[in-house]
Chains A and B, each alone.
Chain A
Amino acid sequence: MQKPHFFYLQNSSFYIVTILFCLVLSSAQAKTITQTIPPFNLIAEAHYSKGQTDKPAILILHGFLTTNQFHTVTSISEVLQSEGFTTLAPTLTLNISQRRSLVKCNSLHTHTLERDIIEIDHWVKWLQAQGHAKIVLIGHSSGSLELLEYLIQPSSQAVAATIFTSLFYLNGPELGIIPSEVNSARMLLKNRINTPTHYHFLFCNNQYYATPESFLSYLKADRNYVLSSLKQLKIPSYTIMGGADKRYQKVGKEWLTELKQTPTNLIIIEGANHFFSKEYEFDLQDTIIQILNQYAP
């Protein structure tokens, strides 16, 4: 599929000046929103910046074990705020009230994918409660995957579109998941033993210290599950992938092909890594803005 002309980003200096100017203007309206997630009695925080009401509110979800202060998230938030979009960047509690820092692999992980979905849902509803009738969800990395999991379930009608960046999957031998550990975790859980154990998971290798329940909950999102879920989406989805993401070394470049074969609009920023660092940050921002502009009047 031929991409729109605006997908090709050039001469970004203009945007830099504009973003810095708008950042100064919008910073006065930014604030931290604290919400108690009712089922867990955990206090969750989100960075909220109210933009133009005629533009959709953007919920930006961070990646695995990070916070809303992760640079990819903050850069997207800031540029969107400068563009007049309302942004909400929550930090998933991961079972830690008012969590403000990254969670280490060897931290005690008791959070589950399901709990994360509940928190996402809570924040979407909070946005709606704030009067935002149109909401666009943007996720980064596993945040994209969690938004995907949220969207395939019955969710708010206010969500108009979703943008996945660096969308991968969580389970698979190519990712280092060790079947014996999975089986052991399942056995423990079956036996109602939820004591924390070190697992091989994503980039944590053998350092991921989690309860079996927590560990197993994320293994749900394997390769096929993700591709299948994309196909189940009822709203437009955009998937922005870095052309030089090192994850391809494990999942293979075929992943892009497979994604392309789904309904999602796949956008590849050549040269960008998993986090769209350096100059590719602006390419990502430009891409997102151009997408969002479709949902703005």
Chain B
Amino acid sequence: MLADTVIILVKILVILLGIALTAGALLTFVERKQSAWIQNRVGPNRANIFGHIRGDKFKDSIKLGGLLHLAADGLKMLLKEDIIPKGANRVLHTAAPAIVLFPVLVGFAIIPWADHWCAGGLTLLVNHRDVCLSESHNLFSIADLDVGFLFVFAIASLSVYGGAIAGWSSNNKFSFFGGLRASSQMVSYEVPMGLSVLGIVMIFGTLNLNEIVRAQGDLLFGVLPAWGIFVQPLGFIIFLTAMIAENKRAPFDCPEGESEIVSGYMTEYSGLKFGILQLSEFIAVIFIASIVSVLFLGGWQVPYLYGDGFHMPHSAFFPLFALLFFVVGGYLIAVGVRREQMLQKIAGGLLVVLGLVYAVMSTTQANGVQHLPYEGVVLLRLGTMFAKVIFMVWLQLMIRWTVPRFRYDQIMQLGWKIMLPAALVNLLITAIILIPLFS
């Protein structure tokens, strides 16, 4: 009992502090750097520590490639004066950032970062699903809720309050507009968001996120992994769009559209309160990336990797994968000509290494089967989940820095007139296809 409590506490600490808050803070830096590269700039690279003057020249010793801006930003937020405007509701104005942050953090509770840890041996069923022979422990998510997905909705709905309260309590017309826009936008986009995911729920027959990921390991037509994006492509697009709209980032950043309504509901915030509002937005980016990965990109599933190793549909798949990784990795290295594209080169290099691994496996495999130790499988799955999350974060930042902002009424039109009918049609088609399968 005590051990369970301790394990849960450790998981909360690791996932909240290790993933949510650290990565959220890191994302402030990543976003600035990535946007700089998109825009042909250098990006933050000035902040340094232990800088000193030698002779008549300023020498800066440690820069860490600009990573120290993170610390500088945090310090600035902490030390800045916290202003509560005259006539503002002090209690609500102070509480609002916390109300914004809370649901974003709580959402992480149900993300399965890898499959449950199986203490004993595994047996593989014919459909490749594994059955744990002894006790299995839920080690890689804080809560393994059977209502999993409904919990996401409940939490997402809660986050409406933060923006609305922040806007209302600031005693500023611009903030008020921001709050109004935020609440109406978030309420509107919850509808297509929910409907777009119902298709996934219908296909996999469960609300439990880990079960959904497990089901995505099945193969369609014996070849294609049954990832959400393959069985629900339209649902994926609608869900991703709705989630970005929920998070109020460009192109849906009307509530904080800095041109016409200054900064929307953030206008009257300063210091750490403003920092928290910003941070929760970045954490939400990661949350969106993880929930989209879990529902649509197979979560921790590596294609054809099961409890005891790889089971390829055909032995030619190993060299094929190796070739794919070589080509993509080589391309990334080849086009990354500038110094700023170092990260791209590193990613390309990793892909080439991965291709090498597959090439090695293609010589040691037997009939498309390559056994791996269980610990290795778990590590691979964790790594895959993180890679997918990083990819989705990258995609969101790409979208953020490429497109301009919608107008408020255009967002509403898109939500109610295009995405809602599209989600309903998607649901209908899914149901029509599923009926003969179940009856």
Q: Do A and B form a real pair? A: no
Chain B interface (Cβ within 8 Å of chain A)? none
Question: B-contacting residues of A (Cβ < 8 Å)?
Answer: none
